[in-house]
A and B are shown apart, each in its own frame.
Chain A
C-alpha cells in the first residue's frame, strides 16, 4: 500500500501540515501541490508592511527554500491539482501527472469575491490575496493620489491606513452600518470609525459601490449607491472571500460554503481531510459549523491534523485568535465574540490602549484589545483555561487580571 500524504495548496495551512507531519514522526512520503509558483509566503504583511513605502522587496517566506529537502517534502510549485478520483485514490495535476495518495488533504484556501458591476473590469481596480496582487498594487500606489476602497473589512482598512500613511486621499465605501461589523463588537467598531476618521480617511458607512467610470480603459471614478462620485486613481476591493471548495465538490465530497469536515477535520470520506480557510468544521467553543480565515486557525488545525494522520487521533479545539494592524492601531482578538450579550471596557480608550471583554450570558467568550498585547496574551490564557470571571470583577479597575489569570493551572489544550 502507498504511504503518501498528498496536500493540495501551498499556503499557511498546507506548509504547516507538511512540517508538523515530520515533527509527529510521519516517515512516508509527503507531496505538496501549490498553484502559486512562488516559495510559500506569509499573506498578512501583504496588506500592511509590504505596501508601505519602506517595504522589503520580497515577500516574507513561510519556510526557507531548503525546508522541502530537509523535511523530504516533494514540492510542486506552480502546479494545480485538477481532478481527483477517490475510488482509485489518485490526483491529476496541471502538469499531466497522476499521483496516488493514502490520505488527501485540501488546504486550498479561499479566493477574493469579485465585483461584476458596470466598469468593474477597468484597469486600476485591484484585489488583494497573493503576492502578485500586492506587487502590482504597490507599483500603482507609487503614482496614485486618490484611492477608493470598497468594503471596510480587515484587508480594506489595513490597505486604507497604509495608503493614507503614504499621503493618499482615501475614501472607504461600506454598505453596512459599521466597519468590520461582522466580527467586532459595536464599541470597538465605533472606536475604529473615529480613529480612521481622525487620520483623514473618509469613511462612508451605509454606502455601497454602484459602478465605476473610466478613461482610456482605466478607472477614474467610483460611483457610490447614493450617486456620489469619488475620483480615484486606484481602487481596492475587499468584499470578502469564497472558499476554494469546487475541486472537493467535483469529486463528491460534501461542501457548503467550505468543505464540510468533523472535529478531526475529516470529511465524509475517511481518507480525505480539509483545513484552513477552505474548511467548515464544528467549532469547539461555539458549537456551530464555522469557517475561519486566520493564521491561527490554519496553523493550529495543521498541527492537530498532523497528530491524527500519524496515528494519534485528535480533535481540533484550539482557541481562536486574530490580529490586524491598521496604521498605528494594533488590534488583537482572542476567542469568538459573535453573539455576545454584554461587554466591559478596561483601559484608556482616549489613549488608544484598551480592551473590550465580551460576555455571553455571563461567560467570557472573547476579548478585543487595542495596542495592549499583554491584555491579549492574558485573555488567551483566561479563555483557554475557562476561568470563571464576572463583569463585576472586570469593571473594578483595581482588579489585577494578569495575576488572576496566572493563578490558573493551564489545561492541556491551552495556548
Chain B
C-alpha cells in the first residue's frame, strides 16, 4: 500500500496508507493528522494544506500550476523555494507511491 509520512515539528511522525488518487491533504484530513487543515477542500485556494516535501521525493512531484505557485506566496509559514507544495495538489499515483513531508508550524495567519 502506498504511504505518506508526516513529520511534525515536535519530532513525532504519522505514517498514513493511501490509495492511488488520494491527495496528501485528503489523507491527512481523513486520518486526523495535526497541522493540515484543507479549508477550501482542495481547490488550491486557501494554502492551509502547505507541506515541505523531503528532499528525496522532490524529483517525483507533479509540476506546479500557476494557482499553486501563487498560493505558495501567501502561506502562513514561510515558503521554502525548493520544498514547499500544497498538499491538495500532490496525489498518490503510480510514479508517486510514497512521500514524506514536514508539516509547517502553522497554516493560519495570525
Contact = CB atoms under 8 A, between A and B. Distances in A.
Interface of A: 42, 44-45, 48-49, 56, 60-67, 70, 295, 299, 323, 325, 330, 332, 371-374, 377, 380-381, 410, 414-415
Nearest to A412: B110
B43 A61 contact: no
B32 A63 contact: yes
Interface stretch (B23-31, B52-60, B93-101): B23-31
A299 B41 CA distance: 14
A42 B41 contact: yes
A61 B29 contact: yes
A330 B45 contact: yes
A414 B76 CA distance: 13
Nearest to A332: B45
B41 A48 contact: yes
Contact of B41 (A45, A70, A332): A45
A373 B30 contact: no
Contacts of A60: 26, 29-30, 38, 41-42
Interface residues of B, number: 24
A64 B14 CA distance: 14
Contact of B30 (A64, A295, A323, A374): A64
A410 B30 CA distance: 33
B74 A70 contact: no
B81 interface: no
A374 B39 contact: no
B41 A374 contact: no
Contacts of A372: 70
A48 B26 CA distance: 16
B109 A415 contact: yes
A299 B39 CA distance: 10
A258 to B, nearest CB: 24
Given A372-B70, A373-B67, A414-B110, A56 B39 contact: no
Contact of A44 (B29, B30, B40, B73): B40
A-B CB proximity, top 3 nearest: A64-B32, A377-B74, A45-B41
Given A323-B45, A330-B45, A371 B30 contact: no
B62 interface: no
Nearest to B40: A323
A377 B73 CA distance: 10
Contacts of A371: 67
A44 B73 CA distance: 24
B61 interface: no
Given A60-B38, A323-B45, 14 more contacts: A42-B38, A44-B41, A44-B43, A45-B42, A60-B30, A60-B41, A64-B29, A64-B31, A295-B39, A299-B39, A330-B43, A330-B45, A371-B67, A372-B70
19 contacts: A45-B42, A48-B43, A49-B41, A49-B43, A56-B21, A56-B22, A60-B26, A60-B42, A63-B29, A299-B39, A323-B46, A330-B44, A332-B45, A371-B67, A372-B70, A373-B47, A414-B109, A414-B110, A415-B109
B3 interface: no
A330 B47 CA distance: 14
Q: In the complex, which of the residues B26, B43, B44 has the most CB atoms of chain A within 10 Å of its own CB atom?
A: B43
Contact of B42 (A49, A63, A295): A49
Nearest to B28: A64
Interface in B69-95: 70-71, 73-74
Contacts of A330: 43-45, 67
B103 to A, nearest CB: 15
A229 to B, nearest CB: 36
Contacts of A70: 32
A325 B32 contact: no
A65 B32 CA distance: 8
Given A56-B21, A415-B109, A373 B41 contact: no
A56 B88 CA distance: 12
B70 A373 contact: yes
Contacts of A414: 109-110
Contact of B70 (A65, A325, A374, A380): A374
Contact of B32 (A44, A66, A374, A377): A66
Interface string B1-39: 000000000000000000001100010011110000011
